[in-house]
Chain A
Amino acid sequence: MKLHRHTAVLVACSALAFGVTACGGDDDETAGGTTESADTQNLSGSIRIDGSSTVQPVAEAASELFQETAPNVQITVGGAGTGDGFERFCRGEIVIADASRAIEADEYEKCKAKDIDPVEVQVGIDGLSVVANNSLEFPDNCISTENLKKLLAPKSKVANYKELGEGFPDQDASFFTPGTESGTYDYFTEAVLETDAEQRTNKVQTSADDNQIVTGITGTEGALGYVGFAFAEENKDKLKILSVDGGDGCIEPKIETIADGTYAPLSRPLFMYPTTKTAAQPEVKAFINFILENNQKVNESAGYVPLTDELKATATQNLESATPVEAPAAE
C-alpha cells in the first residue's frame, strides 16, 4: 500500500511539474536569449558531469540553459571534488570532468591505463580576491604581491602589518585562507608565494569553505585572506577588497581586469574535460560548444569571468579536433 501511495505522489508531482514546465513560465526570465544550432532539439542522451565544486556552478548554469535548446538531453552535475571527479572520469563512469586545475600526472596515468584520453577545454576564468577586515587601512587599499609573499610565505614571522613598511597600519596580523586540500590554495601558493603548496601556518586559520573564510575575516579585526572572486563581490559591503599590484600597478579585481589578464597573477582557469570519444558524441559536443558560444551568459550566472576571444578560440579548437591533452609533467 505504501508503494501505491508513493506512486500517486510521484504521478501528482510529475503532473504538476509537467504543467509548470509546459507552461514555459521561466523561460521569459532568461532575457538576452542564447545562440543555438538548428538541430539541437533532436539531440538526446544523458551526460553525467562530476568533479570540482568550483566549476560546478558553470556546469549547472550551462545545463539549465542548454536544456531549453535541447530538452531531451539529460544532464546531471555532481560536485565530489576535482580529485574524485578525475577518478570517476578515468574509470569511464562520467562523461565530463569538471576541474579547477589541469589534470595531474597521477590522474593522467590512470586514464591512460584505461585507454581514456582527456581533452582539455577551458570554459571560464576564476579570480582570487584578496580581502581584509574593514578595520584594515592599507595605503591606496592596495597590496603588492611582494608584500603578500612577505606576509604569507612559509617561514614568515610578520606579526604586525607595520612591519611591511611606511603607511601600513599598526595592527596584529591574522589570516584566513583556504586549506591545503583546496585547489585555490595550490594556485595561490604557486602563483603568488611561488612555493610548492607551502604557506605560512602560524596565525593562519584555514577553512574548507569560502563562506566561512568570509565569516572569519569579517569577524576578526585586522584579518586578511583570499577567497574566490564571486565571494568577495557578494560580500563587498562587509569587507575590503584590496587591489593587487603584481608589478604593473594596483589593479582591482573586476570582470574586465580578470578577463584580460591585467589582474595578475590571481586569475586561474576553469576546465571541463571530455574524453576524445565523448567529445565526438553529438550531444556532448553540442553541450560544450554551447558553453563556449554562450560563454558570457554562462559565466555570469555562475559568478565567474568569461573567456577572452583568444582563449575561446583555443578551447573551441581543442573540442572540435578532440585533441588529447599532453601528458602533464610528473612531479
Chain B
Amino acid sequence: MPPGQRPGGITRVRTRRSVGEQAIKGLLAAAAVLSVLTTTGIVVTLVVESVPFFEIVAIGDFFFGTDWAPLAGGEQQSFGVVPLIWSTLYLTGVGLLVAIPVGLGVGVYLAEYASPRVRRTLKPIVETLAGIPTIVFGYFALTFFTPEILKGFLGLEVSVFNGLSAGIILGILVLPTIASVSEDAMSAVPQSLREGAFGLGAAKWQVVVRVVFPAALSGIVAALVLGASRAIGETVVILVAAGNNPNLTFDLTTAHQTMAAFIANTARSDVAAGSIAFATIFVVGLTLFVLTFAVNIVAIRFVRRYRQVYD
C-alpha cells in the first residue's frame, strides 16, 4: 500500500449524505485539535512565566551551566540546567532498560503463549500495577528496594538516595503500559500470518520474533513511546527514591534530580511566588517540553520510515 494512504479515502460525489459525512469529519477533527489547543495552553503559560527569568539569567548560563542550585542564596545560586537534563535522560534510560525487555517479554508471553483464559486473568493483574499510586513505588524503592535488595541482597554500596533504585523502580512503573499495549498489538496480528509461517516449518519462537513482531511493530512502537513518555515525566518516584540533589555524574549510587522531579518539588514548596526561583519551574518545564518535542519528532520520522518497509 502506498504510504500515507488509508483504506476508505476514496473521493466521492457530493450528495446530501456526504455533507453529513463532512460534518462528522469536522467534529472528529475538532476533537483532535484539542491536543493542539492543550499544547498551545501549556506553551503560553510556560513561556509567559519564563520571560522574567531570562531577563535576569543569561541563556548561555542556563543551557550550558553545569551547576543547578537556583533556590540557594548568594554565591551558591546557580542556574545551569545540564545536570537536570542529564539525569532525566540517564534515569529514563535505566528505567527503559528494565521496562522494555521485561514489558515486551510479558506482552509476548500473554499474546503468544498464554491460553486465552490465563491471558484474561493475567493481563488485568499486570495492568493493576499501572494503577498503584506512584508514591507507593517511591516508598517501596526507598524503604525496601534500596536497603533490602540493593544493599542487602546484592551487597551494593549505594547511598540511601540513589539513581539505580529510582531507575529500576521507574522501569517497573512503566512496564505494565508497555506490556499491555504491545500485547494488544500482537494479539491483533491475523492468525493467517502465523499459520503460514508454521506451515513453512518455523519454530514457535521464530514465528514470534520474525513474523508477529514485525507485523505488530506499529503497536509495539506505540507501547514503547507511551512507556518512555511516562518515564520521562515521572516525578514522585524520582523524588522519593533518588533524592533531591542534582548530580552530573555516571554514578548511579548517588542522588539524582530530573527535570520533572524538580518541577514537582518546587511547585509545591515554600518558594515565594513571583520570584526568580519560582520562575525556574516554568523555565525547566519549557525546557523539558521542547526536549521531548524534539525527541518525538525524530522518533516519529524514524518510525515512519521503518514502518514503510513493513507495510
Contacts and interface: CB of A to CB of B under 8 A. Distances in A.
Interface of A: 52-54, 79-84, 86-87, 90, 100-101, 104, 106-107, 109-110, 154, 176, 179-183, 186, 189, 195-199, 201, 204-209, 212, 215-216, 219-220
Interface stretch (B176-184, B188-196, B222-230, B270-278): B270-278
Interface size classification for chain B: 20 to 34
A201 B76 contact: yes
A53 B268 contact: yes
A110 B275 CA distance: 11
B270 A220 contact: no
A201 B69 contact: yes
Contacts of A110: 273-274
Nearest to A103: B272
Contact of B159 (A80, A186, A220): A220
Given A101-B270, A180-B69, A83 B278 contact: yes
Contacts of A84: 267-268, 273
Contacts of B244: 179, 205-208
Given A181-B71, A196-B73, A205 B255 contact: yes
B160 interface: yes
A86 B270 CA distance: 10
Interface of B: 69-77, 142-143, 147, 159-161, 239-240, 243-245, 255, 265-275, 277-278
A183 B270 contact: yes
Contacts of A207: 161, 243-244
A226 to B, nearest CB: 15
Contacts of A82: 269-272
Contacts of B271: 81-83, 181
A126 to B, nearest CB: 12
The winner among B75, B77, B265, B272 for most chain A CB atoms within 10 A is: B272
B136 to A, nearest CB: 14
B161 A87 contact: no
B238 to A, nearest CB: 11
A90 B243 CA distance: 32
